[in-house]
Chains A and B, each alone.
Chain A
Amino acid sequence: MDSLAASDGVLRPAAPTAPPLLKVAELRRSFGAVRAVDGLDLEVEAGSITGMIGPNGCGKTTAVNCITGFDRGCSGSVELQGRSIARRQPEEIARGGVMRTFQAIRVFDGFSVLENAAMGRQCFDGLRLQHPILRTPRFRQVERETRARAEALLETVGLGAKKGELAGSLSYGQKKLLALAGILMSEPKIVILDEPVAGVNPTMVHEIAELLRRLNAAGTTFLIIEHNIEFVMALSDRVVVMDRGRRLASGTPAEIQQDERVLEAYLGGGDGGL
């Protein structure tokens, strides 16, 4: 992959010659007098894992809702591969290849695990209305591909044995994995995970970290919003620290750990530290 330089044997984002995959500038969102996001700048390089951390209420989830179009009241620029996606409808942004999970996890409880995964691809397989209704040969072909891909991805995230069960019967952590599998069905350009390990038991946190590493090595770009600092530091190529609605600092995990502003404003402030 040419966006990655591997000169020292470590995968790391290339020098910023190409424009970043996702570029957010001057993002703002206010609720009354509260400036939830207050001029946030953010770049995500293709092929990277970028972590975003920050104290509670610093505007991380609001920023994600702005980027993915679910929050309609934001201003600022959001560019995907140099093209503006700001203020588009969320489904159009998803179709453009920006996929997200939700902090309060969402799956279709009444459908099987396999169907939940398959739903992630149905808007991307190029079939028009008549194909599924008339069960055309092309539809059956696409359906076979979708099924094979869904089964493979469910294997990858460790839900292979659960594919026939109702999604509603899964545990909280398993639902998170299912949501991730569903998103990956469409081969998105960037996956934004809103707190992927919040409320997940420590063993599973480790498994999810491993899974994300493998998926990233296979080419998926991630932007991860998370409270679990250890998790983000261990996983990310770059880390963005958010504070009061803006970017306080950004850099490699090592740089962030040395950054005095960060240590002072956030990490050193009796919040568990590093």
Chain B
Amino acid sequence: MPPAMRSPKGLLLLLLAVLALAYPFASSSGYHLNVLTNALFFTVLAMSLNVIYGYAGLLSFAQVGFWGVGGYVGALTVTRLGGSVWDGMLAAGAVALLLAIAISAVSLRLSNHAFVIVSIAFTLLLQLLAQEWIDVTNGPMGIPGLPAPEIVLGPLYFAFDDRTSQYFLALAFAAATLAAIGLVLSSRVGRTLRMLKHDETLARSLGVRTTRWKVFAAGFAAVVAAMAGALYVFYLSIVDPTIFDVYYTQLMLVIVIVGGLGSFWPMIAAGFVLVVLPEVLRTSDEVRMIYYGVVLIAGVLFFPRGFAGLLAARRRRHSSGGRLGQPGSI
């Protein structure tokens, strides 16, 4: 048997991968595919919040700001500078990294609370900028008509210009990003971030340079959110100020909290459930949000530590002392 099939988790992953790859061929509904593509983007976005909030314990409202910065930087790189979509994503990541280091290094000198407030102000400011700096952002009209991502390799040419190929692109992006985040969080780096969250004073007494690690978490989370945002606007083919909408913040927070702060797989599951659920419940717009609300309240009441909390007791029984720094221990 290949190694991936030896554990139940590996088997489940394999099954999910097959399902994700086969789905577009089994269903002809563009609507379903659109919902799934959104779920991929929002799960990555929520995971970026999980890095900084769930792991490092820093509540950040700046993630939607970075998501929007990524969208605008990506769009402008293509429309103004003539770069490719991939250039746009890289530029988005770079700009977000610099901004994240700037706002976190300054605000964290004061306190974690200062960081929360600065993160709110940061997002509001960016939204204002997107609306009012008309020369660059085209104001509330946004920047429409963004091109589809394309691959040019010598004679090879491929454009992601239909729902199915865009779904596969989003799937590849989400898989790569989540795998990279998983690699970092399941390593000792993830443990160090959790040390900050649990007891910063104790971490410092053991020599952990806590401020540097918080800036690292902020930068890492910002790069992920911005690159996701950049790809997302090319999927929509437009970026406008609604990309900073509080809806995204609310969705991210709900996914992270329902999944379980600082969890990995349960959070990914929550991402899909919480994006797909409102669509499944779409009987009428009035009733839909009531269903959604009931499910959320029930979730928080009965599983206060999220999906992850449900699994934790079972996992604890299986854990021994020998999990020091092993991958997959999250």
Contact = CB atoms under 8 A, between A and B. Distances in A.
Question: What range describes how many residues of A lie at the interface?
Answer: 35 or more
A91 B202 contact: no
B187 interface: yes
A269 to B, nearest CB: 34
A88 B201 CA distance: 15
A107 interface: yes
A163 B205 contact: no
A102 B206 CA distance: 12
B6 interface: no
B244 to A, nearest CB: 31
Interface in B189-217: 189, 191-192, 194-195, 198-199, 201-210
Nearest to B212: A91
Interface stretch (B25-33, B150-158, B250-258, B315-323): B315-323
Interface string A122-154: 111000010011110000000100110010000
B82 interface: no
Contacts of B319: 112, 164
A119 interface: yes
B206 A115 contact: no
B301 interface: no
B201 A123 contact: no
Contact of A119 (B184, B191, B316): B191
Interface of A: 68, 70, 89-91, 94-95, 99-100, 102, 106-115, 118-120, 122-124, 129, 132-135, 143, 146-147, 150, 163-166, 182-183, 186
Pick the 4 closest A-B CB pairs, nearest first.
A164-B321, A123-B207, A132-B188, A94-B207
25 contacts: A89-B204, A90-B204, A91-B208, A94-B206, A95-B207, A106-B202, A106-B205, A107-B202, A109-B198, A111-B191, A111-B194, A112-B319, A112-B323, A113-B321, A115-B324, A119-B191, A120-B206, A123-B207, A132-B188, A132-B325, A133-B184, A143-B325, A146-B324, A164-B321, A164-B322
